[in-house]
Structure 1
């Protein structure tokens, strides 16, 4: 009788240990090939740096490339859910790609951590979007800093050129609202496709209206062509860019034609100029150093968005594991709840404070006003 009781106790203990140490599977969808590769490659190259443990749980990452194709993003997400039984997904890289998978992630009850630009993945909040958490600054937070700069510079008229996709569409809405609030006349709103090889027509329309400044909203390499085209056509007004331009290749591809550009973006661009008191500096510095050691180059901020997603999961997984076993619907639901309660979590881009209404969670600590000077990023000091 004593032997049976001892065996039962051992089996129960083993079962508890098995549950506590169950593996958590995280899917990662990146656009590491195709038109979005400048965004997706630093994300793919960051996967090896993501934490392999979260509390007592081992964490495994399953990476797929959607080749920048929104249809492939859906296929990848469905595979990760149905075949790999993942507990959460980081990705996809592009705004249109992310918008296209939200419904399927929500239907499956799998949290989606979207490292994309457009706030449309989390706003307005809905039953589907409650499963989505955004690891980049919302458009409005970035745009407010740009319009504050415009006010100081006395900008009265503004032209806008943005991509014809969810990223550009949401920026167009935000710009129209803020322009009205700041008594700035929006004289032109032009759109283009990311894969376009020319924006001559759009830029000529903007140029003909002689705005004091032009704001370009496009992610990755797509941010370069509208600005270089305007420069070639003789425009010398102030150019503003969204955080979609925050990558080294913007400087390399644009050269002297992007000199003087103002954007609001991650502290990572000017990390050496950030005071040690900033709660994100230590995290960002560690990530940049590890990425550079592994890949031989500094990361674009897009890679850091994937890294921050894993930091959010690292904090949330032990909380969810206390309620349910990984690999179950109950665990995924608990994981969603834990992510929504993320509080004062310092990432590479800023500090996360999630709420049921705000699934991005950044405040002003998540942005720096920056200008391109002498071919590099330079912080604009507050006056």
Structure 2
């Protein structure tokens, strides 16, 4: 009798261990409060729409809010790694926050799926950045579309206003190279802090340079202030924005002052104008519909970046699970390798094909030229 009970106990314990091993744990860090909230809220909301099962593996998500504070990001990430033993992490929302945790995920050997704008989280590729995968288009991919448009429309001089952080700095680097390539002279190059309430001084310097066009390089709501300020000061030249401005609140906050803006961004902004043959259209439409059903509003593309992270994990987990059990360093290594081998995976933002040197994986299918027309996003065809 005692032997029978002992055997039953052992079998139950083995079953529990097997069940635990079949569960993949994913940490999610967002900035649902603070200056990055317009980015972080749709990302936090999207957690409820992420896949919860793939093959034999259940996926559990542990979501934490860093309040837009890079120090809190590090604290949250360390908790997920040391206390929750996560197999992967999605987040954080901000570029400085993400750059600040790269060394920690590399040391712990935990894949990080980063939904931030700046390409600096993966470029230049290093041993530490091998653990980071980016679910937004690289700055250069977006910038090429903008500068090609500038060249077609005879833009010869350009003013640049960007955030004084990794996002703005990397855009300045990319823009400078592409401007030289296209024979465009940058006649003003200004920076501002995301939390600034006025940039009158910077905008006056840009205005004084009398550029043919202005490029604003800022993520989220801070993208509005430079353009609105220039408008108030009488500037009526063409304004270009990066994919960091691709959110509904850009239109709401900017109003008539952002009319005519040109940006390159995800097809999600102009889904109704995208042909059904586009491999991302149905995925983006389904995500948008499910989000709207749950929250009563359409998601910003920032939320879709988090959703795509879930799709990437959904495809990679079975490959990793064939080599090791979740919860182990061997599984995390196998998961990193599987993510890096992603090929032709359609997401909401485009099609991902990763390589050891490219941890974003987008090509031209990951961008559309878009213009603000009559207060809404419109596909630009010229």
**Aligned twin of 1:321:** 321
What displacement does 1:15 show? 5.9
Q: Superposed, which structure 2 residues align to 1:1-383 within 5 Å? A: 18=18, 22-381=22-381, 383=382
Q: Secondary structure of the residue that 2:279 maps to in structure 1?
A: coil
**Rounded Cα–Cα distance in structure 2 between residues aligned with 1:17 and 1:281:** 41
TM-score, with structure 2 as normaliser: 0.96
Contact 1:21–1:58 (CA under 8 A) maintained in structure 2: no
**Rounded Cα–Cα distance in structure 2 between residues aligned with 1:20 and 1:86:** 13
Contact 1:20–1:321 (CA under 8 A) maintained in structure 2: no
**Rounded Cα–Cα distance in structure 2 between residues aligned with 1:29 and 1:21:** 23
**Rounded Cα–Cα distance in structure 2 between residues aligned with 1:148 and 1:290:** 35
Contact 2:21–2:325 (CA under 8 A) maintained in structure 1: no
What displacement does 1:144 show? 0.3
Could you report, residue by residue, the CA deviation over 1:287-344 in whole angstroms, capped at 9, with x for unpaired residues?
Answer: 0000000000000000000000000000000110000000000000000000000000
What displacement does 1:18 show? 1.8
**Rounded Cα–Cα distance in structure 2 between residues aligned with 1:19 and 1:340:** 27
Contact 1:95–1:167 (CA under 8 A) maintained in structure 2: yes
Contact 1:21–1:56 (CA under 8 A) maintained in structure 2: no
TM-score, with structure 1 as normaliser: 0.96
Could you report, residue by residue, the CA deviation over 1:41-61 in whole angstroms, capped at 9, with x for unpaired residues?
Answer: 000010000000122100000
What displacement does 1:11 show? 5.5
**Rounded Cα–Cα distance in structure 2 between residues aligned with 1:66 and 1:105:** 17
Could you report, residue by residue, the CA deviation over 1:133-179 in whole angstroms, capped at 9, with x for unpaired residues?
Answer: 00000000000000011011100000000000000000000000000
What displacement does 1:19 show? 6.4
**Rounded Cα–Cα distance in structure 2 between residues aligned with 1:294 and 1:321:** 31
Unaligned runs of 5+ in 1: none
Q: How big is the alpha-carbon RMSD for the aligned residues of Structure 1 and Structure 2?
A: 1.8
Unaligned runs of 5+ in 2: none
